[in-house]
Chains A and B, each alone.
Chain A
Amino acid sequence: MSAQDVLDMSINIALALLSLAFLLTIFRIVKGPTLPDRILGLDMLVGAAIGYIAVIGVKTGYTLYVDIAIALGLVGFLATVAFARFILVRGQADEGGMEDGHELDPDAVIDHKIGELGNAIPKTDDTEKQGS
């Protein structure tokens, strides 16, 4: 078994693993359950695509696509930053943020509200200290 045979075999294995990774990531994008999960899935998809391009470059020797991989990384980064800004501007988290099928526990929601109050109170304390 020559070195080239080993390389061919490992390229095939790597392509199979990457395809599986693609499918699992797409499953997460489709399933959600929240918007940040989907954005994270898209980010991961860009990373897997860059890996795919590298493996294709080793397999075929056609390395022109490496430029495209760099551009893809830039576009993926900017897209994630823009989506993060969009989440911030949209300013609501009414999707529950929990695993699928998990009923929201009323007590937990109340705890969360208390947590928000707890976050708000020290801020007013700070402003009072600055004022006095």
Chain B
Amino acid sequence: MADLGTYVVSFLIIVGAFFALVASVGLIRLPDVYSRMHAASKAGTLGSGLMLIALAIYSDDLATITRALIGVVFFLLTAPIASHLLAKAAYAVGYRLSDISVMDEMSKKDEKIKK
């Protein structure tokens, strides 16, 4: 039974690290800052959250378990807000979408496409 916990921890650690890697590959491969934000905030949060959950499962100490879970909750709350603020600021200042973007929902010019 103790073995099962160790296997779960191994699985969560590898999957979390894999998602962190996917996030950074997305940061390299995607064309503009708005689409890179998808990779960094979603896959990155999932990656570090999974690794913190693995630490919470592995640890016997209640203090460590609560700290790791609080870290997960805190990260889940702050990462989307930070990305959203950054995207709003970049859009307001005029950083453009990539050429291959299909539509820009915040631009008045594309309202006809929206309807």
- B and A form one assembly: yes
| Contact present for A80 and B61 (CB under 8 Å) | no
Q: In the complex, how many angstroms separate the beta carbon of A10 from the nearest chain B beta carbon?
A: 4
For residue B14, which residue of chain A has the nearest CB? A10
Least CB separation from A10: chain B residue: B10
Query: Could you list 7 further interchain pairs (A-B, Cβ under 8 angstroms) beyond the known A17-B17, A93-B94, A108-B99?
Result: A10-B10, A14-B16, A43-B83, A84-B88, A88-B89, A93-B96, A122-B108
Among A21, A58, A99, contact of B24 (Cβ-Cβ < 8 Å): A21
A16-33 interface with B by 8 A CB criterion: 17-18, 20-22, 24-25, 27-28
A-binding residues in B (CB < 8 A): 2-3, 6-7, 9-11, 13-14, 16-18, 20-21, 23-25, 27-28, 31-33, 36-37, 40-41, 44-45, 47-48, 51-52, 54-55, 58-59, 61, 64, 67-68, 70-71, 74-75, 78-79, 81-83, 85-86, 88-90, 92-96, 98-99, 107-109
